[in-house]
Structure 1
Amino acid sequence: MHDALIFDDLTRIVAQPRADWRRHALAISMNLGGKFATGLAVGVGFAIGLALAG
């Protein structure tokens, strides 16, 4: 009986709809873009701070 439950779980996993790869690519690119924009803002702020101080 235990084997039947495992088989049911496997068929349920296989039958699930496949994820769209574009959604994952968009999420990764948005994450990297956000990190880049934050780093750029910190770098510009640091450069302006150094220019004002020095």
Structure 2
Amino acid sequence: MDAIFDDIAIALRKPQSDFGAKVRVIALDAAGKFLVGVAIGLGITVGSRLIAG
């Protein structure tokens, strides 16, 4: 039983770095920026066509 608590204590003291989580954060950030760029581009295109007639 003490070994289980020792393992838990070690795990809590030493955080594990998750490489996959960092990659997911970067990919989500890039995808969000891309979609915002597409939305802005579409807005500019539609707006300029409405103004031009």
How far is the alpha carbon of 1:18 from its aligned partner?
2.8
TM-score, normalised relative to structure 1: 0.67
In structure 2, what is the equivalent of residue 28 of structure 1? 26
Dislocated runs of 4+, deviation >6 Å: none
TM-score, normalised relative to structure 2: 0.68
* Unmatched 5+ stretches in structure 1: 1-14
In structure 1, what is the equivalent of residue 7 of structure 2? none
In structure 2, what is the equivalent of residue 18 of structure 1? 16
* Unmatched 5+ stretches in structure 2: 1-12
The number of residue pairs the alignment matches comes to: 40
Cα distance in 1, alignment partners of residues 23 and 46 from structure 2: 34
Instruction: Tell me whether 1:48 sits opposite 2:46 in the alignment.
Output: yes
Report the aligned-residue RMSD: 1.2
Cα distance in 2, alignment partners of residues 17 and 53 from structure 1: 56
